[in-house]
Amino acid sequence: MSKDGERAALRRMLGGITALLGDRNTHKTLTGTFTVLSMPPTDEGSKRERIEASFAQVPDSDFLQLAERFLQTQDVDAATRIQLQDALWAEASPPEIPMRTRREIARALDPMVLVQHPARFMKMLDRFWAINDDPFSELLSLGQGRSLRSRIERHFTCNPDWSTEELFEALGAFEASDRRFARLIETAVAGDVLLDEPAQRLLAEMINEHLRTTGGELSRDGHEERLPPSGPGPQPACPHAAPEERCLRLAQEAGHSFPLRCGQRHRGRRRRRPGLRPLGRR
pLDDT digits (tens, 9 = 90+) for 60-83: 899 999 999 999 999 888 888 998
Q: Does pLDDT of 247 surpass 90?
A: no
Sign of CA dihedral 257, 21, 176, 7: negative
pLDDT at 232: 31
Q: What is the average per-residue pLDDT within 44-61?
A: 95
pLDDT at 261: 54
Closest to 121 in 3D by CA, of 68, 199, 217, 208: 199
| Residue 271 or residue 119, greater confidence | 119
| Residue 176 or residue 229, greater confidence | 176
Q: Does pLDDT of 206 surpass 90?
A: yes
pTM of structure? 0.69
Q: Does pLDDT of 135 surpass 80?
A: no
Which CA distances in Å does 57 have to 36, 43, 52? Answer: 16, 14, 9
41: confidence class by pLDDT, cuts 50, 70, 90: very high
C-alpha span between 200 and 208 (Å, rounded): 12
pLDDT at 137: 55
Surface-to-core class of residue 1, CB atoms within 10 Å of its CB (0-12 exposed, 13-18 middle, 19+ buried): exposed
Q: Does pLDDT of 244 surpass 60?
A: no
What is the percentage of the chain residues whose pLDDT exceeds 90? Answer: 49
Report the 10 Å Cβ neighbour count for 47: 15
User: Which amino acid would we find at residue 50?
Assistant: R
pLDDT at 132: 87
Q: Does pLDDT of 118 surpass 90?
A: yes
pLDDT at 94: 73
pLDDT at 26: 95
What is the percentage of the chain residues whose pLDDT exceeds 70? Answer: 72
219: confidence class by pLDDT, cuts 50, 70, 90: confident
Q: What is the mean pLDDT of the chain?
A: 77
